[in-house]
Structure 1
Amino acid sequence: MKAVQGLLFDLDNTLMDRDATFRSFSRQFVQDLLGHLDENEAALIVDDIIVRDADGYRDKDGFFAELSEVLPWQKPFPAAEIRSYYDLTYASHGAVMKHALEILEYCRDRGYLLGLVTNGGKDIQNGKIDLLGLRGYFDTIVISGEVGISKPDPDIYKLALKRLGTTAEATLFIGDHPVNDIWGAAAAGMDTIWLKRNHALDESLNVQPAATISELDELKNII
Protein backbone atom coordinates (compact mmCIF):
# COMPACT_ATOMS: atom_id res chain seq x y z
CA MET A 1 0.00 0.00 0.00
CA LYS A 2 1.40 3.38 -1.03
CA ALA A 3 1.95 6.22 1.43
CA VAL A 4 -1.41 7.56 2.55
CA GLN A 5 -2.23 11.01 3.92
CA GLY A 6 -6.01 10.99 3.78
CA LEU A 7 -8.95 8.62 4.10
CA LEU A 8 -12.41 9.17 2.64
CA PHE A 9 -15.29 7.11 4.04
CA ASP A 10 -18.76 6.29 2.78
CA LEU A 11 -21.59 6.62 5.33
CA ASP A 12 -24.49 4.21 4.73
CA ASN A 13 -23.51 0.59 5.41
CA THR A 14 -19.93 1.66 6.01
CA LEU A 15 -19.91 3.88 9.11
CA MET A 16 -23.66 3.63 9.70
CA ASP A 17 -25.23 0.18 9.93
CA ARG A 18 -28.01 0.85 7.45
CA ASP A 19 -29.43 -2.67 7.76
CA ALA A 20 -30.12 -2.16 11.46
CA THR A 21 -31.21 1.44 10.91
CA PHE A 22 -33.77 0.67 8.23
CA ARG A 23 -35.17 -2.35 10.06
CA SER A 24 -35.66 -0.23 13.19
CA PHE A 25 -37.36 2.48 11.13
CA SER A 26 -39.58 -0.07 9.36
CA ARG A 27 -40.75 -1.53 12.66
CA GLN A 28 -41.73 1.90 13.96
CA PHE A 29 -43.36 2.73 10.64
CA VAL A 30 -45.57 -0.37 10.80
CA GLN A 31 -46.31 0.14 14.48
CA ASP A 32 -47.32 3.77 14.02
CA LEU A 33 -49.16 3.59 10.69
CA LEU A 34 -50.38 -0.01 10.49
CA GLY A 35 -51.22 -0.62 14.13
CA HIS A 36 -54.31 -2.66 13.21
CA LEU A 37 -52.10 -5.60 12.13
CA ASP A 38 -51.39 -8.44 14.51
CA GLU A 39 -47.80 -9.26 15.50
CA ASN A 40 -47.21 -11.87 12.79
CA GLU A 41 -48.75 -9.72 10.06
CA ALA A 42 -46.69 -6.73 11.17
CA ALA A 43 -43.46 -8.76 11.06
CA LEU A 44 -44.22 -9.92 7.51
CA ILE A 45 -44.90 -6.34 6.39
CA VAL A 46 -41.61 -5.16 7.92
CA ASP A 47 -39.74 -7.83 5.96
CA ASP A 48 -41.62 -6.89 2.79
CA ILE A 49 -40.75 -3.20 3.17
CA ILE A 50 -37.08 -4.08 3.64
CA VAL A 51 -37.07 -6.15 0.43
CA ARG A 52 -38.84 -3.40 -1.53
CA ASP A 53 -36.33 -0.82 -0.27
CA ALA A 54 -33.49 -2.66 -2.06
CA ASP A 55 -30.85 -1.57 0.45
CA GLY A 56 -31.74 2.09 -0.10
CA TYR A 57 -31.02 2.13 -3.83
CA ARG A 58 -34.64 2.65 -4.83
CA ASP A 59 -35.78 6.06 -6.01
CA LYS A 60 -37.46 7.37 -2.87
CA ASP A 61 -40.50 8.87 -4.61
CA GLY A 62 -41.13 5.61 -6.44
CA PHE A 63 -40.61 3.60 -3.26
CA PHE A 64 -43.04 5.69 -1.23
CA ALA A 65 -45.61 5.61 -4.04
CA GLU A 66 -45.35 1.81 -4.09
CA LEU A 67 -45.83 1.55 -0.32
CA SER A 68 -48.87 3.81 -0.59
CA GLU A 69 -50.38 1.42 -3.14
CA VAL A 70 -49.52 -2.02 -1.76
CA LEU A 71 -49.54 -1.86 2.04
CA PRO A 72 -52.72 -2.96 3.88
CA TRP A 73 -53.88 0.47 5.01
CA GLN A 74 -57.15 0.88 6.89
CA LYS A 75 -57.62 4.08 4.88
CA PRO A 76 -55.56 5.49 1.99
CA PHE A 77 -52.17 6.89 3.00
CA PRO A 78 -50.63 9.14 0.32
CA ALA A 79 -46.99 8.85 -0.73
CA ALA A 80 -46.39 12.47 0.31
CA GLU A 81 -47.39 11.62 3.88
CA ILE A 82 -45.08 8.60 3.88
CA ARG A 83 -42.29 10.93 2.71
CA SER A 84 -43.04 13.36 5.55
CA TYR A 85 -43.03 10.55 8.10
CA TYR A 86 -39.71 9.26 6.74
CA ASP A 87 -38.10 12.70 6.77
CA LEU A 88 -39.19 13.30 10.36
CA THR A 89 -38.27 9.94 11.86
CA TYR A 90 -35.70 8.01 9.82
CA ALA A 91 -32.50 9.66 11.06
CA SER A 92 -33.45 8.98 14.68
CA HIS A 93 -33.00 5.25 14.07
CA GLY A 94 -29.37 5.56 13.01
CA ALA A 95 -27.11 2.77 14.30
CA VAL A 96 -23.33 3.06 14.16
CA MET A 97 -21.46 0.30 12.35
CA LYS A 98 -19.45 -2.13 14.48
CA HIS A 99 -15.91 -0.77 15.06
CA ALA A 100 -16.70 2.54 13.29
CA LEU A 101 -15.88 4.87 16.18
CA GLU A 102 -12.89 2.75 17.14
CA ILE A 103 -11.36 2.95 13.67
CA LEU A 104 -12.04 6.67 13.30
CA GLU A 105 -10.25 7.28 16.60
CA TYR A 106 -7.39 5.07 15.43
CA CYS A 107 -7.03 6.95 12.14
CA ARG A 108 -7.32 10.39 13.69
CA ASP A 109 -4.75 9.57 16.37
CA ARG A 110 -2.30 8.63 13.63
CA GLY A 111 -2.65 11.97 11.88
CA TYR A 112 -4.68 11.01 8.82
CA LEU A 113 -6.91 13.65 7.25
CA LEU A 114 -10.44 12.23 7.31
CA GLY A 115 -13.39 12.93 5.03
CA LEU A 116 -16.90 11.62 4.51
CA VAL A 117 -18.62 11.37 1.11
CA THR A 118 -22.26 10.32 1.05
CA ASN A 119 -25.24 10.31 -1.28
CA GLY A 120 -28.54 11.57 0.08
CA GLY A 121 -30.51 14.59 1.15
CA LYS A 122 -28.73 17.25 3.19
CA ASP A 123 -31.07 17.14 6.19
CA ILE A 124 -31.39 13.35 6.37
CA GLN A 125 -27.64 12.72 6.06
CA ASN A 126 -26.69 15.48 8.49
CA GLY A 127 -29.23 14.05 10.95
CA LYS A 128 -27.57 10.63 10.76
CA ILE A 129 -24.08 12.07 11.12
CA ASP A 130 -25.01 14.03 14.23
CA LEU A 131 -27.05 11.24 15.82
CA LEU A 132 -24.13 8.84 15.42
CA GLY A 133 -21.63 11.35 16.81
CA LEU A 134 -19.46 11.25 13.69
CA ARG A 135 -19.09 14.92 12.74
CA GLY A 136 -16.14 15.71 14.97
CA TYR A 137 -13.93 13.08 13.36
CA PHE A 138 -13.95 14.64 9.90
CA ASP A 139 -12.01 17.43 8.27
CA THR A 140 -14.61 17.60 5.51
CA ILE A 141 -18.08 16.17 4.86
CA VAL A 142 -19.51 16.11 1.33
CA ILE A 143 -23.23 15.32 0.92
CA SER A 144 -24.58 14.86 -2.61
CA GLY A 145 -27.83 16.69 -1.88
CA GLU A 146 -25.85 19.70 -0.71
CA VAL A 147 -23.28 19.91 -3.52
CA GLY A 148 -25.43 18.78 -6.46
CA ILE A 149 -23.14 15.87 -7.44
CA SER A 150 -23.75 12.22 -6.59
CA LYS A 151 -21.55 9.15 -6.39
CA PRO A 152 -20.30 7.55 -8.60
CA ASP A 153 -19.64 10.78 -10.52
CA PRO A 154 -15.86 11.26 -10.12
CA ASP A 155 -16.41 14.98 -9.53
CA ILE A 156 -17.83 14.41 -6.05
CA TYR A 157 -14.65 12.59 -5.01
CA LYS A 158 -12.50 15.30 -6.58
CA LEU A 159 -14.42 17.92 -4.61
CA ALA A 160 -13.83 15.96 -1.40
CA LEU A 161 -10.11 15.69 -2.17
CA LYS A 162 -9.89 19.44 -2.80
CA ARG A 163 -11.62 20.19 0.50
CA LEU A 164 -9.51 17.63 2.33
CA GLY A 165 -6.30 19.06 0.91
CA THR A 166 -4.91 15.77 -0.39
CA THR A 167 -4.33 14.17 -3.77
CA ALA A 168 -6.03 11.10 -5.17
CA GLU A 169 -2.70 9.28 -5.12
CA ALA A 170 -2.32 9.88 -1.37
CA THR A 171 -5.91 9.09 -0.38
CA LEU A 172 -7.86 5.88 0.13
CA PHE A 173 -11.62 5.52 -0.21
CA ILE A 174 -13.41 3.05 2.08
CA GLY A 175 -16.94 1.96 1.23
CA ASP A 176 -19.34 -0.92 0.67
CA HIS A 177 -20.89 -0.32 -2.74
CA PRO A 178 -19.06 -1.72 -5.78
CA VAL A 179 -20.17 1.08 -8.11
CA ASN A 180 -20.76 4.11 -5.90
CA ASP A 181 -17.69 3.56 -3.75
CA ILE A 182 -15.19 1.30 -5.51
CA TRP A 183 -15.71 2.12 -9.19
CA GLY A 184 -16.44 5.81 -8.62
CA ALA A 185 -13.46 6.46 -6.35
CA ALA A 186 -11.18 4.52 -8.69
CA ALA A 187 -12.39 6.65 -11.60
CA ALA A 188 -11.26 9.68 -9.58
CA GLY A 189 -7.78 8.13 -9.23
CA MET A 190 -7.96 6.69 -5.73
CA ASP A 191 -7.11 3.26 -4.38
CA THR A 192 -10.05 1.75 -2.55
CA ILE A 193 -10.86 -0.61 0.30
CA TRP A 194 -14.06 -2.57 -0.09
CA LEU A 195 -16.12 -3.34 3.02
CA LYS A 196 -18.10 -6.45 2.07
CA ARG A 197 -21.75 -5.99 3.01
CA ASN A 198 -24.77 -6.64 0.77
CA HIS A 199 -23.39 -6.24 -2.74
CA ALA A 200 -21.12 -8.43 -4.85
CA LEU A 201 -18.34 -6.97 -6.94
CA ASP A 202 -19.29 -6.65 -10.60
CA GLU A 203 -16.40 -8.09 -12.60
CA SER A 204 -17.56 -6.21 -15.70
CA LEU A 205 -16.52 -2.95 -14.05
CA ASN A 206 -12.86 -3.95 -14.47
CA VAL A 207 -11.97 -2.36 -11.14
CA GLN A 208 -10.57 -4.17 -8.14
CA PRO A 209 -10.15 -2.72 -4.64
CA ALA A 210 -6.64 -2.56 -3.21
CA ALA A 211 -7.95 -4.57 -0.25
CA THR A 212 -11.17 -6.23 0.92
CA ILE A 213 -12.37 -6.29 4.53
CA SER A 214 -15.33 -7.76 6.37
CA GLU A 215 -15.09 -5.54 9.48
CA LEU A 216 -13.82 -1.99 9.86
CA ASP A 217 -11.20 -2.87 12.47
CA GLU A 218 -9.34 -4.81 9.77
CA LEU A 219 -8.19 -1.42 8.47
CA LYS A 220 -5.59 -1.46 11.26
CA ASN A 221 -3.71 -4.14 9.33
CA ILE A 222 -3.77 -2.11 6.11
CA ILE A 223 -3.06 1.55 6.89
Structure 2
Amino acid sequence: MIKAVIFDLDGTLLNRDASLERFIENQYERWKKWLCSIPKDKYISRFIELDCRGYVWKDKVYSQIVDEFNINNISWQRLLNDYIEEFHNSCIPFSSLISVLEELKSNAIRLGIITNGKGKFQMDSIRALGIEKYFDTILVSEWEGIKKPHPEIFHKALREVNVSPNESMYVGDHPENDVQGAMNIGMLGVWKKDLQWKNIEADYIIDDLGEIPVIIRELKGI
Protein backbone atom coordinates (compact mmCIF):
# COMPACT_ATOMS: atom_id res chain seq x y z
CA MET A 1 0.00 0.00 0.00
CA ILE A 2 1.29 3.45 -0.91
CA LYS A 3 1.36 5.73 2.12
CA ALA A 4 3.57 8.54 0.76
CA VAL A 5 4.31 10.26 -2.52
CA ILE A 6 7.49 12.30 -2.88
CA PHE A 7 7.84 14.68 -5.81
CA ASP A 8 10.55 16.43 -7.74
CA LEU A 9 9.87 20.15 -8.31
CA ASP A 10 11.20 21.48 -11.62
CA GLY A 11 9.64 19.74 -14.59
CA THR A 12 7.29 17.79 -12.34
CA LEU A 13 5.19 20.19 -10.26
CA LEU A 14 6.55 23.40 -11.76
CA ASN A 15 6.31 23.79 -15.53
CA ARG A 16 9.82 25.12 -15.67
CA ASP A 17 10.04 25.49 -19.45
CA ALA A 18 6.96 27.72 -19.59
CA SER A 19 7.98 29.57 -16.41
CA LEU A 20 11.48 30.28 -17.72
CA GLU A 21 10.21 31.61 -21.03
CA ARG A 22 7.76 33.90 -19.23
CA PHE A 23 10.52 35.11 -16.91
CA ILE A 24 12.99 35.85 -19.73
CA GLU A 25 10.36 37.79 -21.66
CA ASN A 26 9.57 39.81 -18.55
CA GLN A 27 13.23 40.35 -17.77
CA TYR A 28 13.89 41.66 -21.23
CA GLU A 29 11.05 44.15 -20.84
CA ARG A 30 12.28 45.25 -17.40
CA TRP A 31 15.78 45.88 -18.73
CA LYS A 32 14.84 46.85 -22.27
CA LYS A 33 16.53 50.24 -21.95
CA TRP A 34 19.85 48.41 -21.66
CA LEU A 35 19.09 45.38 -23.82
CA CYS A 36 17.32 47.00 -26.76
CA SER A 37 20.32 46.48 -29.06
CA ILE A 38 19.64 42.73 -28.82
CA PRO A 39 16.56 41.32 -30.58
CA LYS A 40 14.15 40.04 -27.93
CA ASP A 41 13.68 36.63 -29.53
CA LYS A 42 17.46 36.17 -29.78
CA TYR A 43 17.95 37.06 -26.10
CA ILE A 44 15.27 34.57 -25.09
CA SER A 45 16.42 31.72 -27.30
CA ARG A 46 20.09 32.07 -26.32
CA PHE A 47 19.27 32.16 -22.62
CA ILE A 48 17.18 29.02 -22.89
CA GLU A 49 19.95 27.29 -24.82
CA LEU A 50 22.65 28.18 -22.29
CA ASP A 51 20.40 27.31 -19.36
CA CYS A 52 20.33 23.62 -20.43
CA ARG A 53 16.96 22.95 -18.80
CA GLY A 54 18.17 24.39 -15.49
CA TYR A 55 21.29 22.26 -15.17
CA VAL A 56 23.62 25.27 -15.60
CA TRP A 57 23.49 27.84 -12.81
CA LYS A 58 22.75 31.35 -14.00
CA ASP A 59 26.05 32.98 -13.08
CA LYS A 60 27.58 31.13 -16.03
CA VAL A 61 24.58 31.80 -18.26
CA TYR A 62 24.52 35.55 -17.65
CA SER A 63 28.28 36.02 -17.84
CA GLN A 64 28.29 34.31 -21.22
CA ILE A 65 25.32 36.32 -22.47
CA VAL A 66 27.00 39.58 -21.46
CA ASP A 67 30.17 38.53 -23.30
CA GLU A 68 28.45 37.22 -26.42
CA PHE A 69 26.16 40.20 -26.87
CA ASN A 70 28.84 42.67 -25.80
CA ILE A 71 26.60 44.20 -23.12
CA ASN A 72 28.56 47.02 -21.49
CA ASN A 73 25.95 49.04 -19.65
CA ILE A 74 24.68 46.34 -17.29
CA SER A 75 26.61 43.64 -15.44
CA TRP A 76 25.86 39.94 -15.44
CA GLN A 77 25.63 40.15 -11.66
CA ARG A 78 22.69 42.58 -11.88
CA LEU A 79 20.91 40.32 -14.34
CA LEU A 80 21.58 37.33 -12.08
CA ASN A 81 20.19 39.17 -9.06
CA ASP A 82 17.11 40.03 -11.08
CA TYR A 83 16.67 36.32 -11.85
CA ILE A 84 17.02 35.34 -8.19
CA GLU A 85 14.59 38.00 -7.01
CA GLU A 86 11.99 37.83 -9.77
CA PHE A 87 11.78 34.28 -11.12
CA HIS A 88 9.10 33.20 -8.64
CA ASN A 89 6.77 35.82 -10.09
CA SER A 90 6.73 33.85 -13.35
CA CYS A 91 6.09 30.37 -11.93
CA ILE A 92 3.54 28.28 -13.84
CA PRO A 93 2.24 24.99 -12.40
CA PHE A 94 1.42 21.91 -14.41
CA SER A 95 -2.28 21.33 -14.91
CA SER A 96 -4.23 19.65 -12.11
CA LEU A 97 -1.44 20.26 -9.58
CA ILE A 98 -3.62 21.57 -6.75
CA SER A 99 -6.46 19.12 -7.31
CA VAL A 100 -4.04 16.17 -7.27
CA LEU A 101 -2.38 17.31 -4.05
CA GLU A 102 -5.77 17.85 -2.41
CA GLU A 103 -6.98 14.41 -3.47
CA LEU A 104 -3.85 12.74 -2.13
CA LYS A 105 -4.07 14.58 1.18
CA SER A 106 -7.76 13.74 1.52
CA ASN A 107 -6.78 10.07 1.26
CA ALA A 108 -4.21 10.40 4.05
CA ILE A 109 -1.24 10.17 1.69
CA ARG A 110 1.84 11.87 3.12
CA LEU A 111 3.57 14.21 0.70
CA GLY A 112 7.11 15.44 0.21
CA ILE A 113 9.40 17.25 -2.20
CA ILE A 114 13.05 16.53 -2.91
CA THR A 115 14.60 19.06 -5.26
CA ASN A 116 18.13 19.78 -6.36
CA GLY A 117 18.92 23.48 -6.35
CA LYS A 118 19.43 26.59 -4.26
CA GLY A 119 17.46 26.64 -1.02
CA LYS A 120 15.74 30.02 -0.95
CA PHE A 121 15.27 30.06 -4.71
CA GLN A 122 13.46 26.71 -4.74
CA MET A 123 11.35 27.64 -1.72
CA ASP A 124 10.33 30.89 -3.41
CA SER A 125 9.07 28.85 -6.37
CA ILE A 126 7.19 26.42 -4.11
CA ARG A 127 5.49 29.30 -2.29
CA ALA A 128 4.68 31.02 -5.57
CA LEU A 129 2.83 27.88 -6.65
CA GLY A 130 0.85 28.01 -3.39
CA ILE A 131 1.66 24.41 -2.47
CA GLU A 132 3.92 24.56 0.59
CA LYS A 133 1.05 23.77 2.97
CA TYR A 134 0.39 20.38 1.36
CA PHE A 135 3.81 18.90 2.13
CA ASP A 136 5.00 17.08 5.21
CA THR A 137 8.65 17.47 4.21
CA ILE A 138 10.56 19.59 1.70
CA LEU A 139 14.25 18.88 1.11
CA VAL A 140 16.42 21.16 -1.03
CA SER A 141 19.87 19.88 -1.95
CA GLU A 142 21.75 23.07 -1.05
CA TRP A 143 20.40 23.00 2.50
CA GLU A 144 20.83 19.25 2.86
CA GLY A 145 24.41 19.22 1.61
CA ILE A 146 23.55 16.30 -0.64
CA LYS A 147 21.61 15.95 -3.85
CA LYS A 148 19.74 13.41 -5.92
CA PRO A 149 20.41 10.68 -6.89
CA HIS A 150 22.35 10.05 -3.65
CA PRO A 151 20.27 7.57 -1.65
CA GLU A 152 20.55 9.43 1.64
CA ILE A 153 18.36 12.33 0.52
CA PHE A 154 15.60 9.87 -0.38
CA HIS A 155 16.02 8.03 2.92
CA LYS A 156 15.82 11.30 4.86
CA ALA A 157 12.55 12.27 3.18
CA LEU A 158 11.07 8.88 4.04
CA ARG A 159 12.21 9.16 7.64
CA GLU A 160 10.50 12.52 7.91
CA VAL A 161 7.19 11.13 6.65
CA ASN A 162 7.70 7.92 8.66
CA VAL A 163 7.19 5.59 5.71
CA SER A 164 9.30 2.72 4.39
CA PRO A 165 10.57 2.67 0.78
CA ASN A 166 8.14 -0.07 -0.28
CA GLU A 167 5.22 2.06 0.92
CA SER A 168 6.21 5.06 -1.16
CA MET A 169 6.64 6.37 -4.68
CA TYR A 170 8.76 9.11 -6.16
CA VAL A 171 7.56 11.17 -9.12
CA GLY A 172 10.04 13.07 -11.27
CA ASP A 173 11.09 13.95 -14.79
CA HIS A 174 14.79 13.06 -14.66
CA PRO A 175 15.52 9.38 -15.42
CA GLU A 176 18.65 9.13 -13.25
CA ASN A 177 18.29 11.74 -10.53
CA ASP A 178 14.64 11.02 -9.88
CA VAL A 179 13.44 7.66 -11.15
CA GLN A 180 16.56 5.53 -10.81
CA GLY A 181 17.59 7.23 -7.59
CA ALA A 182 14.25 6.34 -6.02
CA MET A 183 14.16 2.81 -7.40
CA ASN A 184 17.67 2.16 -6.08
CA ILE A 185 16.37 2.37 -2.50
CA GLY A 186 13.19 0.40 -3.13
CA MET A 187 10.67 3.15 -3.85
CA LEU A 188 8.35 2.95 -6.82
CA GLY A 189 9.82 5.16 -9.54
CA VAL A 190 7.33 7.17 -11.58
CA TRP A 191 8.64 9.03 -14.58
CA LYS A 192 6.77 12.13 -15.71
CA LYS A 193 7.46 12.18 -19.41
CA ASP A 194 9.95 14.68 -20.78
CA LEU A 195 10.47 14.70 -24.53
CA GLN A 196 14.25 15.00 -24.24
CA TRP A 197 14.48 11.46 -22.85
CA LYS A 198 13.58 8.16 -24.52
CA ASN A 199 13.42 4.48 -23.55
CA ILE A 200 13.26 5.17 -19.82
CA GLU A 201 13.01 2.33 -17.32
CA ALA A 202 10.47 3.12 -14.61
CA ASP A 203 7.79 1.36 -12.61
CA TYR A 204 5.22 3.74 -14.10
CA ILE A 205 5.30 6.37 -16.84
CA ILE A 206 2.81 9.25 -16.80
CA ASP A 207 1.94 12.21 -18.98
CA ASP A 208 -0.02 14.11 -16.34
CA LEU A 209 -0.01 14.43 -12.56
CA GLY A 210 -3.67 13.42 -12.56
CA GLU A 211 -2.56 9.85 -13.20
CA ILE A 212 -0.94 9.53 -9.76
CA PRO A 213 -4.17 8.99 -7.76
CA VAL A 214 -5.29 6.48 -10.38
CA ILE A 215 -2.09 4.46 -9.95
CA ILE A 216 -2.50 4.48 -6.18
CA ARG A 217 -6.08 3.27 -6.45
CA GLU A 218 -5.00 0.48 -8.80
CA LEU A 219 -2.29 -0.60 -6.37
CA LYS A 220 -4.91 -0.77 -3.62
CA GLY A 221 -7.13 -2.85 -5.89
CA ILE A 222 -9.92 -0.27 -5.83
TM-score exceeds 0.5: yes
Residue 193 of structure 1 pairs with residue 190 of structure 2: yes
Contact 1:193 1:210 in 2 (8 A): yes
Of 178, 192, 215, the match for 1:222: 215
Contact 1:155 1:188 in 2 (8 A): no
Distance 1:25 1:72, change over 3 A: farther
In structure 2, what is the equivalent of residue 162 of structure 1? 159
Residue 65 of structure 1 pairs with residue 82 of structure 2: no
Q: Percent identity?
A: 27
Task: Name the SS of the counterpart of 1:222 in structure 2.
Answer: helix
- Unmatched 5+ residue regions in structure 1? none
In structure 1, what is the equivalent of residue 2 of structure 2? 4
Q: State how many pairs are aligned.
A: 215
- 1:4-53 alpha-carbon deviations (Å, 9 max, x no partner): 11100111111111011100111122222344538x92123212211221
Which amino acid in structure 1 is aligned with residue 121 of structure 2? I
- With 167-176 and 89-98 compared, the bigger mean Cα shift is at 89-98
- 1:44-64 alpha-carbon deviations (Å, 9 max, x no partner): 321221122111011333222
In the TM superposition, residue 185 of structure 1 has moved relative to its aligned partner by 1.3
Partner Cα distance (1:60, 1:37) in 2: 21
- 1:62-91 alpha-carbon deviations (Å, 9 max, x no partner): 222212212353x25333222211111112
Residue 209 of structure 1 pairs with residue 207 of structure 2: no
In structure 2, what is the equivalent of residue 15 of structure 1? 13
Contact 1:194 1:213 in 2 (8 A): yes
Contact 1:178 1:201 in 2 (8 A): no
Q: CA RMSD in A?
A: 1.8
Partner Cα distance (2:190, 2:161) in 1: 18
Residue 37 of structure 1 pairs with residue 30 of structure 2: no
In structure 1, what is the equivalent of residue 133 of structure 2? 136
Partner Cα distance (2:149, 2:61) in 1: 21
- 1:103-145 alpha-carbon deviations (Å, 9 max, x no partner): 1111111111111111111111111111111111111111111
Which amino acid in structure 2 is aligned with residue 210 of structure 1? D
Which amino acid in structure 2 is aligned with residue 209 of structure 1? A
In the TM superposition, residue 147 of structure 1 has moved relative to its aligned partner by 1.1
In structure 1, what is the equivalent of residue 48 of structure 2? 50
In the TM superposition, residue 201 of structure 1 has moved relative to its aligned partner by 4.2
